[in-house]
């Protein structure tokens, strides 16, 4: 994540995913894969003790997985009618072995779009959709030059 400081506030982009009732399961697995600190607030934990209208008490209102300075967030969406479309989460692994480990874990039970392989921009890069419908790009850092 690229951070920019403006005054006392740090600006950054953080992906926010939506799930159709499977957020807790997905984020528990992501925590197993990536480590970090996981916080989950269920709809039944809402302030005032009342589950918001349209929500089941066991649905997730907010999940946050903090890994170092990086943050991945999500919630269940009670109005979601299908899988998420068009947005990938990119994970830059520390090395080729880490990229392969993470890719295999994310692809397990999902669908591989591009097997993890060497490309001109990475010694190990692949894309998949995990079993919860999240689209992933996984790569190890590499050296390449952009065309002029």
Tens digits of per-residue pLDDT, 36-74? 999 999 988 878 878 888 888 889 999 999 999 999 999
Q: Whole-model pTM?
A: 0.86
In terms of pLDDT, which residue wins out, 52 or 5? 52
- Give the position of tokens 């920019």: 4
- Output the pLDDT for position 9: 58
Give yes or no for residue 86 having a pLDDT over 80: no
Give yes or no for residue 5 having a pLDDT over 90: no
Lowest mean pLDDT among 9-13, 43-47, 83-87, 107-111: 9-13
d(CA 114, CA 95): 18
- Output the pLDDT for position 82: 77
Q: Strand pairing partners for 135? A: 88, 129
Task: Give the side-chain half-sphere CA count within 13 A for 57.
Answer: 5
Bridge-based pairing of strands 70-76 and 16-19 is: parallel
Residue 88 CB partners (closer than 8 Å, separation 6+): 127, 135, 136, 137
């Amino acid at each position: 994540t690229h951070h920019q400081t403006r005054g006392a506030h740090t600006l950054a982009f953080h992906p926010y995913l939506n799930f159709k009732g499977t957020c807790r399961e997905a984020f528990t697995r992501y925590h197993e894969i990536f480590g970090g600190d996981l916080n989950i607030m269920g709809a039944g934990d809402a302030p005032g003790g009342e589950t918001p209208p349209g929500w089941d008490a066991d649905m997730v209102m907010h999940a946050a997985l903090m890994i170092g300075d990086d943050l991945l967030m999500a919630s269940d969406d009670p109005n979601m009618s299908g899988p998420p479309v068009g947005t990938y989460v990119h994970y830059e692994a520390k090395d080729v072995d880490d990229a392969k480990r993470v890719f295999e874990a994310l692809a397990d039970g999902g669908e591989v779009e591009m097997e993890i392989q060497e490309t001109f921009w990475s010694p190990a890069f692949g894309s998949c959709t995990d079993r919860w419908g999240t689209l992933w790009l996984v790569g190890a850092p590499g050296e390449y030059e952009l065309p002029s």
